[in-house]
Structure formats: C-alpha cells, structure tokens
Amino acid sequence: MSTMKKINPTLHSAVASAALPLTHVRSRTKPWFDSNKKPFSTLLELDLEKTVKQAGENVREALIIDGKPQFYTIMRGALQQVLFEQLPLDASQRAKFRRTLSGISFSDVEKGIMCHFDNGDIEGPFDLVVGCDGIKSAVKEYIERGEISTAGEERARETIYSGIRIQYAVADGTSQKDEINLPDSAEL
C-alpha cells in the first residue's frame, strides 16, 4: 500500500476506502489429538504498528505514511472491483475476462511480452505481466519453471494447502444508524 500511495495516490485512497486497516496478526493452531488441551494454542501474535516501529527507521519510513501504518485487509472481489473502476476508460474497455493464460513469450519483433490464452488469442506486447491469478497461478508457474502446463492440471496437483485460513465475521445489521458498531480495523 505504501508503494501504491507513491505511484497513484487516488488508487491508494480508493483501495484504502474499500478495505479495513489491519492492526494485528494472530496465528493459532488447534490440537490434533489431545482434546483435553485448550481449544487453540497461539503460535504467533503481532501488533503490526509496534513491530514496524521496532524494526528501524527505514522500515518505519516505508510502511508508515502520514502517521498511518499501511496494512489493510480487503476481500479479493472488492479489490478487483476497485482496481477495475480505477482503470482509464480506454484500458477498462479493453479488459477481457474468463480466459486462461496458457503461455508467455518474449517477442523481439513486437518488443515486449506476449500473453497466450487458451482460446488461441495472443495479447501484447506488454512491458510487465502481473500475476493476480490466485493459488493455481499460471504466472507463478511460468516464473518457477519457464513454462505453463496445459489446462493447469499440474498446477492443481502441486497446489498445497498451507493450513492458513482467514476468518471473517458478519453481524446482523440494524436500521438505526447510531446503533451500528462497525469495526475500525481488522485482525487476522
């Protein structure tokens, strides 16, 4: 987020408005076998602002901007919507959906990166390809192997569950605005 604010303050503001500030990270585990133990054991607990302030001046300068730590949590769909809405009109009109990346190549003729898709389309040239394609990322596979497996079967087999999960809570709303108790930050 701090880099985004430097590159595009308007986009940073839009993303921050759609997100919740992230203040703490808590990692817990549930006992596997002994049910007599506590239901969860805390593995790690971080107060993000405190941790950044203790890390030194360079880290503080990079991650605390205008007195605000640059840690946020946002649902993927909300982030995608904000990013799409912030695109210039000509770029948003060229956006294409529901295609699978099947290859990446560099073209000396086109002077850039060409993206090949499962429907036979080839798009480019691009100066940069950013992989935001999730857990079974074709872009990540290309970076690691120099190729993309067909239809993602290999990626699917090699995808592992890390054991990390994020829980979100939803509370019933009320019609009285003054009774709404919305969180002003989030904890993971």
Note the pLDDT tens digit of each residue in 124-168. Answer: 999 988 777 777 788 888 888 888 876 555 555 555 555 555 554
Report the alpha-carbon distance of residue 116 to residue 186 in Å, rounded. 39
Report the alpha-carbon distance of residue 129 to residue 97 in Å, rounded. 16
Report the alpha-carbon distance of residue 47 to residue 162 in Å, rounded. 23
Q: What is the pLDDT of residues 109-135, one digit of tens each?
A: 888 999 999 899 999 999 988 777 777
Q: What is the pTM of this model?
A: 0.59
Contacts of residue 1, Cβ cutoff 8 Å, sequence gap at least 6 = 12, 15, 16, 70, 71, 72
